[in-house]
Amino acid sequence: MNKLLFVLLSALIVFGCCNDSDSNVIKTKIPPRAKGQTDVLQLSCEPIPVVRVAFIGLGMRGSEAVKRYTFLEGVEIKALCDLYPERVEEAQKTLADKNLPAAYGYSGEDGWKQVCERDDIDLIYLCTPWLKHTPMAVYAMEHGKHVAIEVPAATTLDECWQLVNTAEITRKHCMMLENCCYDFFEMATLNMAQHGLFGEVMHVEGSYIHDLRFLNFASEQEGGYQGYWRLKYNIAHGGNPYPTHGLGPVCQILNIHRGDKMNYLVSLSSAQKGMSEYAAGKFGKGTSLADTTYALGDMNTTLIRTEKGKSILIQHDVTSPRPYDRHHLISGTKGFARKYPKQELAFDPNAHKSMGGEEFDNFLKEWEHPLTKEIGEKARMVGGHGGMDFIMDYRLIYCLHNGLPLDEDVYDAAEWSAIIALSEISAGNNSVPVEIPDFTRGAWDKIKGFNLAVK
């Protein structure tokens, strides 16, 4: 048996996939839609004049989300929940400092279930560790709640399908909180792309390159993640476990499942050295964390091809001493943009050189997205990654107030999160191509173009 066939057959056994007889693409199972179940593209629900929110998970991210929500109009923070009661108390102080009424408090491993079971909550906002996102989101939707989930929404293909099926059955919103879609430069380039400034966009890039070694290896007492959840995931999994910050903004530019779709990927990881070196430095050679086998390579590079022939490059590296980088690169037939290491714009016929100085500043101002024009100043004041987090919060609540479809729907959540499992399959099998399932099950071309809904 030749080597490739052996690899494919192994992958079939391990992942329950089937390979296309006409090509070497690994295909994963697409569960058929149940009879009577329909898609939730452009889902609009009854307007909610005052959105009653419950936060579950009040660590680094959740506690900041509570603070931001105190700046929103038409919101009531109804419930606060964390594993640890002291984190709930800390968040109650945030409300008290703003003279807001105390929320109902829940704690313990299963307190979140009682939150979802309440009948006075519209939106469950999840900021828990990755492996808890989908079970909590599914339960919340099954109990009649809209759900907003921190990134990534899911870590396995089965979880991605659970989110899609539950949203389709319950007709509830399921948004993954991909905040990078709302950053100022990303929104400006979306605006430029939608006005044809880049011509036809043929290639895009995104990444998550963020030296997280300190946080990954810090105990809770040192300010790290609760119970080392992220490090544990990195020990167990290869591929790209955190693709959505880079992918979300460029998928919106490419109109993914709004006229185009991601067809397949190939993924390659470097060997792992950075984590064990860091662990040896912190804990000493011969300690368990230094000697642990980390499945996560230092750098993962994934390439995606779309139905319309566009290419996407996504990278992940959380262990190398490098400046923070999300790429955000757009290359079209008429122009180019890149955010890192410094913001650049270049257009025909002068594209060999980036715009500079005043010309660049004026151009960026001229093409600022209407949304950041509207709320950007307040967002910068409230904060949250320079304001993008608050812009995201504002949009989510605006859409719920007005009964509008959300900017990021359950198919975005599934498509962007699915890269985790699919890149792991490819990178673990000599970079074989793996099909990216169409989570809309045939409706990827029904909506023509990505747009923010307005009343």
- The footprint of ligand NAD (CB under 6 A) covers 56-62, 81-84, 87, 109, 112, 127-130, 132, 150-151, 177, 179, 225-226, 385
Residue 284: phi and psi, rounded to 5, are 100, 145
Give the C-alpha separation, 69 to 67, whole Å. 6
Which of 304, 342, 337 minimizes the C-alpha distance to 325? 342
**Cis omega (within 30 of 0) on the bond before 437?**
no
- Smallest gap, in angstroms, from Cβ of residue 137 to ligand NAD? 12
Give the C-alpha separation, 259 to 399, whole Å. 23
Give the C-alpha separation, 119 to 73, whole Å. 22
Give the C-alpha separation, 28 to 438, whole Å. 11
Identify which of residues 58 and 379 has a Cβ nearer to ligand NAD in the complex.
58
Give the C-alpha separation, 170 to 118, whole Å. 17
Cβ neighbours of residue 36 under 8 Å, at least 6 residues apart? none
Identify which of residues 57 and 335 has a Cβ nearer to ligand NAD in the complex.
57
Identify which of residues 69 and 264 has a Cβ nearer to ligand NAD in the complex.
69
Strand-pair category, 329-332 with 335-338: antiparallel
Residue 449: phi and psi, rounded to 5, are 95, 145
- Smallest gap, in angstroms, from Cβ of residue 408 to ligand NAD? 12
Identify which of residues 59 and 274 has a Cβ nearer to ligand NAD in the complex.
59
- Smallest gap, in angstroms, from Cβ of residue 180 to ligand NAD? 7
Q: Residue with the closest Cβ to ligand NAD?
A: 59
Identify which of residues 57 and 238 has a Cβ nearer to ligand NAD in the complex.
57
Give the C-alpha separation, 138 to 160, whole Å. 11
Identify which of residues 82 and 159 has a Cβ nearer to ligand NAD in the complex.
82
- Smallest gap, in angstroms, from Cβ of residue 83 to ligand NAD? 4
Q: Which residue has the tokens 């410094």?
A: 342
CA-atom Rg of the chain in angstroms? 22
Structure token digits, residue 101: 């009424």
- Smallest gap, in angstroms, from Cβ of residue 88 to ligand NAD? 9
Identify which of residues 108 and 281 has a Cβ nearer to ligand NAD in the complex.
108
Identify which of residues 127 and 204 has a Cβ nearer to ligand NAD in the complex.
127
Give the C-alpha separation, 245 to 247, whole Å. 6
- Smallest gap, in angstroms, from Cβ of residue 304 to ligand NAD? 21
- Smallest gap, in angstroms, from Cβ of residue 177 to ligand NAD? 6
- Smallest gap, in angstroms, from Cβ of residue 378 to ligand NAD? 19
Q: How far is CA 377 from the centre of its chain?
A: 24
